Amino acid sequence: MNLHVIILCAPAGSVDLIALLLYILQGALARWPNPYQALVNVPNRLKSVSCGDGSSVECLANPNQGQFMIVVIGEILYDVFDDYERIGGAPANFAMHLKQLGLPVRLLTRVGDDARGRTILQLLETRGFDLDDVQVDSRHPTGTVRVALDQEGVPQFDIRTDVAYDYLNINACAPEMWREVRMVYIGSLVQRTARVSDGMKRFMTARTGGAEVFCDINLRPPHYRQETMAACLLYADILKLNTDELAQIQSSFGGPANEAALVEWIMARFAIGTLVLTHGAKGSTLYTAGQTINAAPPEEGSVVDTVGAGDAYAAVVAAGLVRKLDPARVVSWATQFAAHICTLPGAIPDDPAVYRWLQRMMEGKIDG
């Protein structure tokens, strides 16, 4: 009888029956008291979705979905410096920081079928990410960004276009059970094409379960359109931006000249519950209903480069807010961590010990 059910429920296409059987045997008893219920639920956890470029993605939802709570959507790429290159991209940096802080996270992204893409896949697997969430594009290369640093370590970016993440199908492997997701991270760069921005609209319309949207807007001229910027602001429950991006928003949508009044105006116009504004070397400010929290910059060592500092800051803020920790302590930790990242080469530390003090503070094991 069980074999009969499996044959009827196995979808047509490339899903391997042996893998299906192994999946059922591994997860059925743990997830459903009734094995028959496990079998009949399998088809609802498999889907093949067109990517719009002639290819398709076959997805098997993570059997441990209930254990993750943050979904990150966006680019992973290579930052190419004068004498070396490193894996980066704001969403990828954000996701990797969260992993190191012990938070369950999934990264929905797309890489090329090339040497850089394969290296990225190896890294993500080593860091514990689900590779089913990573689409591989046989027609477009892995994204790259040429990074030039000035004398103070501040980067200028030359971002390559028509790369794999410009063809990301956001709706291909998105989680089905949104009640188990507490936060969704988005940015603007991955939405620079109509293909992806339209997919994001469908994604945001279809999602259920009340997950908060954390938007690190990351405006990189000329890689955004005004309508994409407006959409990001409308999606956001929590918005992170810097003072330059605040000025760009004011230029596009108006608002008062005073910074605090402008922040209040943006939050009201776009129904944003929490806004975090970074001031570079001057620290940061968190705004929420009836509360403004300033965090002064810490004294740190000499700056190597500031690449990824904003992503480090955003990850700590997200980790703290999703855990419902004291916002004042969260922005202080975020400012300290971002300053420390500036003393290291690249956006992601190679040494996991960098995260231990922060993780212990978030877990309440030490004061800070």
In a domain, 55, yes or no: no
pLDDT digits (tens, 9 = 90+) for 297-338: 777 666 766 777 889 999 999 999 999 999 999 999 998 888
In a domain, 159, yes or no: yes
In a domain, 56, yes or no: no
Q: Provide the number of structural domains found in the chain.
A: 2
Burial class of residue 188, CB neighbours in 10 A (0-12, 13-18, 19+): buried
CA–CA separation, 304 and 313 (whole Å): 17
Q: Check whether residue 279 and residue 193 sit in a common domain.
A: yes
In DSSP terms, 183 is beta-bridged to 70, 212
- Ranges of residues in the chain with a pLDDT under 50 are 1-52, 55-68, 175
Q: Check whether residue 246 and residue 339 sit in a common domain.
A: yes
In a domain, 355, yes or no: yes
In a domain, 83, yes or no: yes
pLDDT of residue 173: 59
Enclosing domain of residue 225: 62-362
Output the domain CATH number for residue 227. 3.40.1190.20
What does the DSSP 8-state code read for residue 113? S
pLDDT of residue 171: 84
Can you tell me which residue has the tokens 């760069």?
Answer: 189
Q: Check whether residue 43 and residue 73 sit in a common domain.
A: no
Q: Check whether residue 77 and residue 41 sit in a common domain.
A: no
Q: Check whether residue 184 and residue 294 sit in a common domain.
A: yes
Residue 270 corresponds to which tokens in the numbers above? Answer: 């776009």
List helix spans (H) across the chain. 2-9, 17-31, 35-41, 90-100, 115-126, 194-206, 226-235, 243-253, 259-269, 309-322, 327-341, 356-362
Residue 313 corresponds to which tokens in the numbers above? Answer: 């800051």
Q: Check whether residue 148 and residue 189 sit in a common domain.
A: yes
pLDDT of residue 353: 82
Taking each helix axis from N to C terminus, what angle separates 194-206 and 226-235, rounded to the nearest 10 degrees? 20
In a domain, 88, yes or no: yes
The per-residue pLDDT of the chain, averaged, comes to 81
Dihedral (Cα; 275, 281, 283, 285), 10-degree rounding: -20
Instruction: Collapse the DSSP code of 150 into the 3-class scheme (helix H, G, I; strand E, B; otherwise coil) and give the result.
Output: coil
pLDDT of residue 148: 86
pLDDT of residue 84: 87
